[in-house]
């Protein structure tokens, strides 16, 4: 097992907690540009995460997929997969505004794989808090 990853039991417990914690959409243009300008960036081969602490207990998320990624079916699928992965990790991400930008390498990955990559990446930066 990779250090920093959740075991299957913890993952099930986190998904139960995650169902109680709702992710809010980050849609206001001024807030999105503030996160892009003032936030910290994590760059991986499958995604780019830009995050900024918001001072509340809510998590706001925006998933931006460019047309360069693929056709509408591929873009919508990757958004669904990332949304599900972030919902699984929602209990640990309270208090942040996130902008997730998937890259082409994420095209064939499953929700489980993206969840483990996101979890490992966010744990390295110290963002996650286990509940």
Beta carbons within 8 Å of 26's beta carbon, 6+ residues apart: 32, 35, 60, 61, 62, 97, 98, 99
> Count of CB atoms within 10 A of residue 94's CB?
15
**Using one digit for the tens of pLDDT, what is the confidence trace for 65-87?**
999 988 999 999 999 999 999 88
Within a domain: 2:
no
The CATH code of the domain that includes 58 is: 3.30.230.10
More confident residue, 93 or 5: 93
Domain range enclosing 98:
22-125
Q: How many domains does the chain have?
A: 1
Within a domain: 14:
no
Within a domain: 99:
yes
For the question of whether the overall pTM of this predicted structure is more than 0.85, the answer is no
Within a domain: 1:
no
Within a domain: 15:
no
Within a domain: 66:
yes
Model confidence band, residue 1 (pLDDT cutoffs 50, 70, 90): very low
Within a domain: 28:
yes
Within a domain: 44:
yes
pLDDT greater than 60 at residue 131: no
């Amino acid at each position: 097992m990779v250090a920093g990853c959740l075991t299957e039991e913890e993952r099930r417990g986190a998904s139960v907690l995650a169902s109680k914690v709702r992710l809010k959409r980050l849609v206001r243009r001024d807030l999105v540009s503030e996160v892009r300008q003032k936030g910290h960036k994590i760059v991986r081969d499958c995604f780019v995460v830009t995050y900024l602490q918001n001072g509340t207990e809510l998590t706001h998320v925006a998933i931006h997929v460019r047309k360069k990624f693929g056709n509408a079916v591929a873009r919508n699928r990757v958004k669904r997969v990332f949304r599900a992965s972030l919902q699984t990790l929602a209990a640990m991400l309270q208090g942040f505004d996130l902008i997730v930008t998937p890259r082409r390498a994420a095209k064939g990955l499953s929700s489980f794989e993206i969840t483990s990559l996101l979890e490992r990446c966010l744990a390295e930066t110290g963002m996650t808090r286990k509940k």
